[in-house]
Amino acid sequence: VVAVNESRTERTFNDRYGTGQSALDGILRATNLLLAGRTLVLFGYGATGKGIAQRARGAGATVIVCEVDPLRALEARMDAFEVMPALEAAERGDLFVTVTGSRGVLRREHFERMRDGAVLANAGHFDVEIDLDELRELAGGRVRQVLPLVEEYDFGGRQVHLLASGRVVNLAAGEGHPAAVMDMSFANLALAVEHLKLHGPELENRVLDVPKEIDEEIARLKLESLGVEIDSLTPDQREYLSSWGASSSD
């Protein structure tokens, strides 16, 4: 078994650039919101969350990150995002995006503090990150479809809007990742299968990483397709680095 999802050309590019762009694209297609000047509260500063945060900032939004991992929270802060507990952020956000892989990330105590007109979207893979039962309970049946992918939950004079029924928003409201990033994901799959075919008998019986050479070859080809050239180590640099036992690409 080869863990293609963990290769560098998959994880960095598919998650950060693919999900980062397509999650916002899904949100914008569903709502036609203007991000500039809005406050986006992001739950989860992982591989995917980082992409969403960067792109939302680039579009003019103020981004607040909510995290439970101190290292990721610190990274977000040092990337110049605001970081705070969810209860505090709930009062500040215009748009809330969950991308944690966990459940009940947005729940009653947050819904109760949200501003009128807040928009809720999920980019994690399952529709459990936003607690839909609690959302329905709070609205007590006052739910209406206001746009094809937007449901309005009325909490008695204050409304919040749920996108794509809390399902993964870039797939439910958009077209998923652009082909220009999926090419690297599919190259990983294809070359990992070829690797298994060519070297299967010599490989250990466990979950393996994509070989570094395959990862680097995919990045090299992608650079070539973008018309980008890079330098190589000189023989002297190579010898110097290998004398320290250091890897040239980490």
Ligand X SMILES: NC(=O)c1ccc[n+]([C@@H]2O[C@H](COP(=O)([O-])OP(=O)(O)OC[C@H]3O[C@@H](n4cnc5c(N)ncnc54)[C@H](O)[C@@H]3O)[C@@H](O)[C@H]2O)c1
The beta strands (E) that lie in the chain are given as 39-43, 62-66, 82-83, 95-98, 118-122, 143-147, 150-154, 159-163
Classify strands 39-43 and 62-66 as parallel, antiparallel or unpaired: parallel
In the complex with ligand X, the residue whose CB is nearer, 149 or 159, is: 149
In the complex with ligand X, the residue whose CB is nearer, 106 or 219, is: 106
In the complex with ligand X, the residue whose CB is nearer, 46 or 178, is: 46
Is 66 an interacting residue with respect to ligand X (CB under 6 A)? yes
Is 187 an interacting residue with respect to ligand X (CB under 6 A)? no
Please check whether residue 98 is in contact with residue 43, taking contact to mean a CB–CB distance below 8 angstroms: yes
In the complex with ligand X, the residue whose CB is nearer, 42 or 61, is: 42
Cα–Cα distance between 111 and 120 in angstroms, integer?
Answer: 10
Among 8, 9, 17, 44, binds ligand X (CB under 6 A): 44
- 69-74 contacts, C-beta under 8 A, 24 or more apart: 69/45, 72/45, 72/46, 73/45
- The SS3 assignment for 174 reads coil
Residue of 103, 105, 101 lying closest to 41 (CA atoms): 105
In the complex with ligand X, the residue whose CB is nearer, 74 or 203, is: 74
Is 31 an interacting residue with respect to ligand X (CB under 6 A)? no
Q: How far is the CB of 215 from ligand X (least distance, A)?
A: 17
Is 47 an interacting residue with respect to ligand X (CB under 6 A)? yes
Identify the H or E element spanning 243: helix 235-243
Which of the ranges 29-37, 119-127, 130-138, 156-164 carries the binding residues for ligand X, by CB under 6 A? Answer: 119-127
| Residues engaged in binding ligand X (CB under 6 A) | 15, 19, 23, 43-49, 66-69, 72, 99-102, 105, 123-125, 168, 170
